[in-house]
Amino acid sequence: MTARVGVVTFPGSLDDGDAARAVRIAGAEPVRLWHGDPDLHGVDAVVLPGGFSYGDYLRCGAIARFAPVMETIVDAAQGGLPVLGICNGFQILCEAHLLPGALTRNQHLHFRNRDQVLRIESAGTAWTNAFQPGQEVLIPVKNGEGCYVADTATLDQLEAEGRVVARYVGGNPNGSQRDIAAITNAAGNVVGIMPHPEHAVEELTGPSLDGLGFFTSVLKHLVGAPA
């Protein structure tokens, strides 16, 4: 049976269509989810896409965190549902306390848009099992508030528990502490990533096909998950 992966649309979402396309290219059925509808319609995994949910008012992701769909997603994620937050989705996951830390203004105070090399640090998550630890991938980054910050104790805990999923290589585009580009929760089912894997799934439009592995990983994870 084909896996069904939900892609949430918030007011101001920008990359929900791209995320749905990446899900389809990976071999799953994309299911569009609406911010105001708490029903997840039986999906097997969820992607929170990039963009500017609710216009980034108050703080990036601060309002989206209270959307009806997020109440359901938080409960489901705590129960093991795989959730990937990309860019604004990463910010929402932090605001919802599914992931620690926060994403703040880029240290140089400029929006940064470029192709970025990442090093995969953890291949043990639901969204990165298609990679090898230490593997380098090329994925676009585009953000103005992508600087990952956390207190020293939290950063040390992430390192000690192997929960840093990816780091920036060849230059840090936003000043994120310890070059962190992606992290996971303790269970490995929730991942937040600032760069955009959904923009690196086709030769025609992407700098590589490296982003596809994030989406095929969750399908592999779902096949191995208990019924």
pLDDT in tens, 190-220: 999 999 999 999 999 999 999 999 999 999 9
For residue range 128-180, what is the model confidence (pLDDT) as tens digits?
Answer: 999 999 999 999 999 989 999 999 999 999 999 999 999 999 999 999 999 99
Query: What pLDDT score was predicted for residue 116?
Result: 98
**Largest interatomic CA distance in the chain:** 47
Confidence tier at 225 by pLDDT (50, 70, 90)? low
Q: Is the pLDDT of residue 96 over 90?
A: yes
State whether residue 96 is helix, strand or coil.
coil
pTM over 0.85: yes
Which strands form 180-184's sheet, in the order they lie side by side?
29-34, 4-9, 45-48, 83-86, 190-193, 180-184, 164-169, 112-120, 136-143
Q: Which string of b and e fits 52-67 if b means at least 16 CB within 10 Å?
A: bbbebeeebbbbbbeb
H or E, element range at 156: helix 152-160
Q: Apex CA 143: angle with CA 200 and CA 122, to 5°?
A: 55
Q: Domains in the chain, start-ordered, CATH in brackets? A: 4-224 (3.40.50.880)
Q: Which residues are catalytic, by number?
A: 87, 196, 198
The helix-helix angle for 212-224 and 16-26 (nearest 10°) equals 60
Q: Is the pLDDT of residue 40 over 50?
A: yes
Pairing of strands 147-149, 102-104: antiparallel
For residue range 5-36, what is the model confidence (pLDDT) as tens digits?
Answer: 999 999 999 999 999 999 999 999 999 999 99
Q: Is the pLDDT of residue 227 over 80?
A: no
For residue range 50-83, what is the model confidence (pLDDT) as tens digits?
Answer: 999 998 888 889 999 999 999 999 999 999 999 9
